[in-house]
Amino acid sequence: MTAKQPNVLLISTDHWPAELLGAAEHPSILTPTLDELARSGVRFRNAYSECPVCIPARRTLMTGVSPRTHGDRDFGETMPMPDLPTMAQAFRDAGYQAYAVGKLHVYPQRNRIGFDDVTLDEEGRTQYGVVDDYEAFLANQGCAGAQFDHGMSNNDYTVRTWHLPENLHATNWATQEMVRTVKRRDPGRPAFWYLSYRHPHPPMVPLEAYLESYRSADLELPREGSWCHGELPYLLQAVRGRNAHMGPRQTRDALQAFYALCTHIDHQLRVVVGTLREEGLLDNTVICFTSDHGDMLGRHGMWAKRLFYEPSTNIPLILVGAEGDRRIGHHRVDDRLVGWQDVMPTLLDLAGIERPESVEGLSMVSDKKRQWLYGEVGEGDHATRMIRKDNFKLIYYPAGNVRQLFDLEADPLELENLSGQPSYATILDDLSTILIGQFYGGDEEWAHEGRLEGRPARRFRPGPNRGLSSQRGHHWPPPPKTNMQQIQWHNEDDS
């Protein structure tokens, strides 16, 4: 450890697509803080979540390895963290103090995964038997168990404004807890801080002031690709079927609320940055802003994550260096292909800390760049896989053996599937060969003699959604532990 080693602030959100930044030329979103940070550093335009669902993505972030190595490519709710060095532990081993605030999403919930301490917000997951620090905070404010009394679900897009005083909103709470953590630091050692906001992940409960700022905005409704009107793979039938009720009015309401949650976070980050400045820490602090995955937000008639279309898997990644660090610079956009496994080695590199041998990711400030990136999520008929290389993306659905090919430079909205066009056959074959080479854990059965064969096609038939997409109730007294089979948020097909 040296006196000049920088502090590191890693900021993560949940469900934030890369395109939702003013710096990315989005026509409606208001993100003045993040835009300024992007101008003060570098924005990575081609950053991807290798497994765009919360728990696997966060395992990748905290270990610097792929889902193949950490063992979760679905949603391992009760799977302990793998026996690998974590980012927090690597910083602590180098003499740093390491603290986290917000959503960690590990099991057991109080596992600190290498941090000195964690101030926890687990979005009301009382089925694990833990009352987290945000719930305790609400109780101390006279609002015990009331965080979900707004009636909105964690996994759908029905909208209303926040029902408690503004200072009790989870975004404000996380901000203030991080500010307190910064102020209580050991002044004799550098710090690694992880600030993990739960939003803009539903429930869609923005503050009234932020929702009002978007009510008169001319929001462009999401578009659908021409390929949406043919026979779709089983997984896409399911995703579209679960959100078939989202008409133009519901979609507009959801977009306004989602953007409002984003802008709220953006403004709260000003408090965190201002605290670093007033504490005399800003010039010697590396700041990284990113998200575990995005959200389809109605594109192609789909919502949420678990897909490899750009709104779901392309994530924001902004890096601001300590003053004078020429490896990062400012007013830069970097087009290299990066994944969440690259965050850990990058931040360690910027702090002058040797990376653990287990880390698979690449430092984003080094000269070494990957040629392609593999993505995977789900198992069996719910599986989908991706290869991104150059300007092209291959998305594969084994159920029905469906391939989709998109040219992201010519068609960034992924409106035209090129897989059936003879002029793209060579590119399609090249990406398919790379894809097959990544198969493991049973996926090998989808290919024979170097050709994709997949699984039989299925038709999705919707089942009931009696739990209202994992609706939470009143949390005082804390509800008993629940059989995990009873709390699945998604509609299962009835076949």
pLDDT at 2: 55
Residues 363-392: tens digit of each pLDDT: 999 999 999 999 999 999 999 999 999 999
Residues 401-434: tens digit of each pLDDT: 999 999 999 999 999 999 999 999 999 999 999 9
SS3 461: coil
Mean pLDDT of the chain: 95
Residues 314-324: tens digit of each pLDDT: 999 999 999 99
Name which of 83, 79, 25 is nearest 53 in CA terms: 79
SS3 173: helix
Residues 202-234: tens digit of each pLDDT: 999 999 999 999 999 999 999 999 999 989 999
Residues 132-151: tens digit of each pLDDT: 999 999 999 999 999 999 99
For residue 492, what pLDDT band results from cuts at 50, 70 and 90? very low
pLDDT at 481: 78
pLDDT at 486: 46
pLDDT at 494: 33
Q: Give percent of the chain above pLDDT 70.
A: 97
Is the pLDDT at 239 greater than 60? The verdict is: yes
Residues 177-207: tens digit of each pLDDT: 999 999 999 999 999 999 999 999 999 999 9
Read off the tokens for 21.
């930044």
pLDDT at 495: 32
Quick check: bond before 345 cis, omega within 30? no
How many CB atoms lie under 10 A from the CB of residue 144?
17
Q: Please give the Cα distance from 495 to 493 (Å, whole number).
A: 6
For residue 443, what pLDDT band results from cuts at 50, 70 and 90? very high
Domains and CATH numbers, the chain: 7-371+473-487 (3.40.720.10), 379-460 (3.30.1120)
Q: Average pLDDT of 334-348?
A: 98
Judge contact between 306 and 16, C-beta under 8 A: no
pLDDT at 4: 84
